[in-house]
């Protein structure tokens, strides 16, 4: 199956979400997915057209996501083709990016231990979703807006190496003396007057309050209303995704597709770091080098279709013939499609 920029393959489009681009992102998904075997073949042809030697690209590109001990395909002439990728699972049954890569991806890459952003953010996402279902909003008979939450969401103790806590000054309204005190306390559950700012934000989203009825905060638990802290001992901070994802946890867990957003954030930083290192090296050793960043997608089987291992090319850095340039996604995709016809 060949994908064309103007007419992507049927399987690649049929089960994808309607939204083709992540909010606030340069990464396009819909219409940019290529079967992995086709991507590898197109990449080899593209490199040949760019003047790389035949030995510069192997049959299978190494999928990596870490620096600095990054494997490279480098020839005796000093050429290198390096693919940077993050694994993301896609399930057509409910049209969602989520979960961990399945056995097909592990077999294709001959690696069942490579970490993925989804695994790293899973415990943080679990805590956030717990809070979404345990914090309740209500309007009483007097027209007062209230927020009720369990004490554990305000606790200062660490749970399993991390702590999710609600920022009380962002969700509750202080009294006339500037103190935030509960209206009622029942066991380990406290009720506060809802912050006027938060109530107005909820109203702007079209919510209609009903007297005497409460509901979980759900999607109204925005990224500015909570924090993650006390990540754990220093040894926990040496993980692959700590430096790239920890600063963005609030944005990630509140995103419509958190696994996809985490992969994009991590990959963009790894790619930028790789390009910076290569540019410093290129000044002393101007050889043909190609860094290509993209998503390694495991698409589950659906309605008679077998499980698919796919790739979404995102951006590339090319150095050689006395020049350097970065290829944006559309340019890179078109070049790969043109190369596939050769």
Last residue of one domain, picked from the residues 239, 269, 297: 239
Whether 158 and 212 share a structural domain: yes
Whether 306 and 331 share a structural domain: yes
pLDDT of residue 180: 94
Whether 45 and 93 share a structural domain: yes
* CA distance readout (Å), 24 to 202, 203, 238, 261, 329: 22, 24, 29, 10, 15
Whether 100 and 165 share a structural domain: no
Which residue's entry shows tokens 């495991």?
298
Please give the radius of gyration of the chain, using alpha carbons only, rounded to the nearest integer.
24
Q: What is the pLDDT of residues 118-173, one digit of tens each?
A: 888 999 999 999 999 999 999 999 999 999 999 999 865 544 445 899 999 999 99
Whether 93 and 145 share a structural domain: no
Judge whether 135 lies within some domain: yes
Whether 105 and 199 share a structural domain: no
pLDDT of residue 182: 95
Average pLDDT over residues 102-128: 69
Whether 223 and 278 share a structural domain: no
End-to-end C-alpha distance for the chain, whole angstroms? 15
Are the C-beta atoms of residues 106 and 128 closer than 8 Å to each other?
A: no
Judge whether 121 lies within some domain: no
Whether 139 and 229 share a structural domain: yes
Judge whether 35 lies within some domain: yes
Judge whether 3 lies within some domain: no
Judge whether 124 lies within some domain: no
Judge whether 305 lies within some domain: yes
Judge whether 97 lies within some domain: yes
Last residue of one domain, picked from the residues 208, 239, 270: 239
Last residue of one domain, picked from the residues 175, 204, 239: 239
Count of domains forming the chain = 2
Are the C-beta atoms of residues 59 and 73 closer than 8 Å to each other?
A: no
Q: Best-predicted range by mean pLDDT among 1-5, 19-23, 235-239, 241-245?
A: 241-245
Whether 233 and 145 share a structural domain: yes
Please give the full DSSP string across 45-113, using - where no structure is assigned: HHHHHTT--GGGS-SS--EE--SSS---EE-TTS-EEEEEEEEEEEETTTTEE-S---HHHHHHHT-S-
pLDDT of residue 170: 95
Q: Which of 7-11, 24-28, 183-187, 238-242 shows the lowest per-residue confidence on average (mean pLDDT)?
A: 7-11
| Domain membership of residue 56 as a residue range | 10-15+24-115+255-340
Q: What is the pLDDT of residues 37-82, one digit of tens each?
A: 889 889 888 888 888 775 444 433 333 333 333 334 444 456 788 8
Average pLDDT over residues 326-338: 92
Are the C-beta atoms of residues 166 and 174 closer than 8 Å to each other?
A: no
Judge whether 85 lies within some domain: yes
- Average pLDDT along the chain: 77
């Amino acid at each position: 199956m060949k994908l064309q920029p103007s007419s992507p393959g049927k399987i690649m489009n049929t089960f994808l979400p309607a939204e083709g681009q992540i909010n606030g992102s340069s990464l396009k998904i819909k219409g940019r997915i290529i079967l992995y075997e086709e991507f590898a073949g197109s990449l080899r042809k593209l490199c040949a057209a760019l003047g790389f030697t035949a030995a510069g690209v192997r049959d299978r590109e190494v999928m990596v996501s870490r620096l600095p001990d990054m494997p490279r395909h480098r020839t005796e002439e000093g050429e290198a083709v390096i693919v940077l990728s993050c694994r993301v699972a896609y399930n057509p049954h409910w049209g969602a990016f989520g979960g961990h890569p399945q056995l097909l991806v592990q077999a294709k890459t001959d690696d069942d231990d490579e970490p993925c952003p989804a695994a790293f953010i899973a415990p943080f996402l679990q805590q956030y979703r717990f809070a979404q279902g345990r914090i309740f909003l209500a309007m009483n008979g007097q027209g007062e807006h209230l927020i009720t939450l369990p004490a554990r969401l305000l606790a200062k103790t660490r749970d399993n190496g991390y702590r999710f806590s609600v920022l009380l000054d962002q969700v509750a309204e202080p009294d006339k003396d500037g103190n935030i005190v509960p209206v009622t306390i029942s066991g380990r559950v406290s009720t506060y007057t809802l912050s006027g700012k938060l109530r107005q934000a909820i109203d702007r989203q079209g919510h209609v309050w009903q007297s005497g009825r409460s509901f979980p905060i759900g999607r109204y638990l925005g990224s500015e209303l909570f924090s993650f802290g006390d990540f754990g001992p220093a040894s926990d901070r040496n993980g692959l995704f700590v430096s790239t994802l920890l600063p963005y946890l609030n944005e990630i867990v509140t995103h419509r597709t958190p696994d996809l957003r985490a992969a994009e954030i991590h990959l963009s930083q790894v790619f930028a770091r790789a390009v910076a290192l290569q540019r410093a090296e290129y000044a002393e050793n101007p050889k043909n080098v190609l860094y290509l960043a993209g998503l390694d997608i495991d698409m589950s089987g659906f309605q008679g279709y077998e499980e698919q291992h796919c790739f979404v090319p995102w951006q590339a850095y090319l150095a050689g013939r006395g020049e350097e340039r970065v290829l944006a996604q559309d340019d890179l995709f078109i070049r790969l499609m043109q190369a596939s016809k050769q």
